[in-house]
Amino acid sequence: MSFRPASLSEALLIRKTNDVMVYCGGSDVMIKYRSWSGTPAQFPKDVLYIGHLKELKSIDVNDFEITIGATVSYAQFLQDERIPIEYKKPVEQIGSVAIRNIGTFSGNICNASPAGDTLTMLYALNAKVIVASTVGKREIAIENFITGPGSTCLKNDEILTHIIIPNQKFSHTYYYKVGTRKANAISKVSVFAVADVVEHRVTDIRIAVGSCGPTVIRLKEAEAKIIGSNTSNIESMIYSLLTMYDDKIVPIDDVRSTKVYRSKVALNLIETFLVKELGQ
């Protein structure tokens, strides 16, 4: 059975009273539950479709935050001129034009894959999600919302309705994704990093690594060690910093890559950002 509510409030009521899978763009779930060519996908439970809900289709931007509705597509995000171009870099490399036309941030988040293309950016930017039920809303940091591969803290009666990204400018922004090819490639390793440097001193830095652990890795202890440092000293700190990251990077072998390759590439990308981007 499938449900197509007329409003968000109706969707939340259906979610409360039925055991359903929430469905929006479907770029992940249609593949996960695909059947033989020409036949419908075999979903394990009833489906609640929310892709048409007007309450979730907008992007709101002010000086402090960017609020993205759960049904906003990647294409809509990319076309919005109010969005900083640095925030668009990971989204530009997602799948193909067709996938970007239907895929959403909310789906990428709820799918909770460590290889999710938007997740490193969301972790580095201290993004939050809003989840709603018939009894109210919760605001949760992205790093607390995703609890493991394919796992979140979303309750059975809740729907993720919005993503909030702080609208902050940084002096340095870095993104690099390693895949088998340039398009339609699942990430082998990805790094999104931002930093603020004022008069050669690092005042803020965040580095998020994808596909190298059960969730996106962000090592705040290493970031704290860098903050306050002069950029001319970063190269002398690189060995101890990479050692810290090496202890936390725990990739796996799979059909896309090996753990040895992922670990080496991740450390190389972190070093590139710290030495070549910041240490100049």
Domain spans in the chain, listed from the N-terminal domain onward:
2-166, 172-278
**Alpha carbons 231 and 106: distance in angstroms, whole number:** 37
The pLDDT averaged over each successive group of 10 residues in the chain (280 residues) is 95 97 82 72 87 96 97 97 95 88 94 92 98 98 96 97 96 90 74 96 97 94 97 95 95 78 95 89
Q: List Cα–Cα distances, 201 to 208, 234, 263, in angstroms.
A: 21, 10, 29
- CA dist., res. 245 & res. 267, Å (int): 7
CATH code of domain 2-166: 3.30.465.10
Residue 145: exposed, middle, or buried by beta-carbon count in 10 A (0-12, 13-18, 19+)? buried
Position 194 scores a pLDDT of: 97
Amino acid at 182: K
| Cα separation, 77 vs 87, whole angstroms | 10
Strands 2-3 and 46-49 come out as parallel
User: What pLDDT score was predicted for residue 246?
Assistant: 95
**In the CATH scheme, what architecture does the domain 172-278 have?**
2-Layer Sandwich (3.30)
